């Protein structure tokens, strides 16, 4: 329910511009997109009950990517507005995009956030300083390791583009 509520608010604001063709279309499209976020929320509600952290972390990131992928394909070619990778234009997580596409960037962002949540939980439950630092270090690694990837080599004539829509 919280996933659906967040999705409705997020997409309601993000695609409000579509109301110029009618409020019914805006409500239907925002509702459809919110259903995908609600689907992730339902999947996360189940995944978050796994006992071991690693069995929660990797599936959480994979589930987010899976729902974004479905949203990009369904219905009739999908709707890619508001994908997580599009929010990473100035972040290191986008450096994996030449190798993995936006899906890899989204996976890293969700994994890093899940690791931060695990670190917070370990600290809050006084599970041990080493565990807290370990989860926090793993989150930092998710954010920073893309900087180690080789930069792509580009050749050819330069082309100036005014804007590219995601």
pLDDT 10s digit of each residue in the chain, 166 long? 999 999 999 999 999 988 898 899 899 999 999 999 999 999 988 888 877 777 778 888 899 999 999 999 988 788 888 888 888 777 766 677 777 888 888 888 888 888 888 787 777 777 677 667 777 777 777 777 777 777 666 678 887 877 766 5
| The Cα angle at residue 111 between residues 88 and 150, in degrees rounded to 5 | 55
Q: pLDDT tens digits, residue range 146-160? A: 777 776 666 788 878
Is residue 68 a contact partner of residue 106, using CB atoms and an 8 Å limit?
Answer: yes
Q: 């608010």: which residue's tokens?
A: 9
37 vs 11: CA distance, rounded Å: 10
């Amino acid at each position: 329910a919280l996933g659906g509520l967040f999705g409705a608010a997020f997409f309601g604001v993000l695609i409000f511009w579509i109301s110029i063709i009618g409020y019914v279309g805006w409500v239907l499209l925002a509702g459809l997109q919110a259903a995908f976020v609600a689907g992730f929320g339902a999947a996360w509600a189940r995944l978050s009950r796994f006992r071991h952290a690693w069995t929660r972390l990797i599936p959480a990131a994979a589930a987010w990517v899976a729902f974004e992928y479905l949203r990009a394909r369904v219905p009739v070619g999908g709707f890619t507005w508001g994908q997580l990778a599009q929010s990473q234009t100035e972040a290191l997580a986008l450096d994996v995009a030449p190798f993995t596409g936006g899906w890899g960037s989204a996976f890293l962002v969700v994994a890093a956030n899940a690791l931060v949540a695990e670190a917070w939980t370990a600290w809050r439950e006084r599970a041990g300083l080493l565990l807290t630092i370990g989860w926090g270090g793993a989150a930092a690694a998710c954010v920073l390791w893309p900087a180690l990837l080789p930069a792509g080599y580009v050749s050819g004539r330069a082309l100036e583009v005014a804007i590219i829509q995601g």
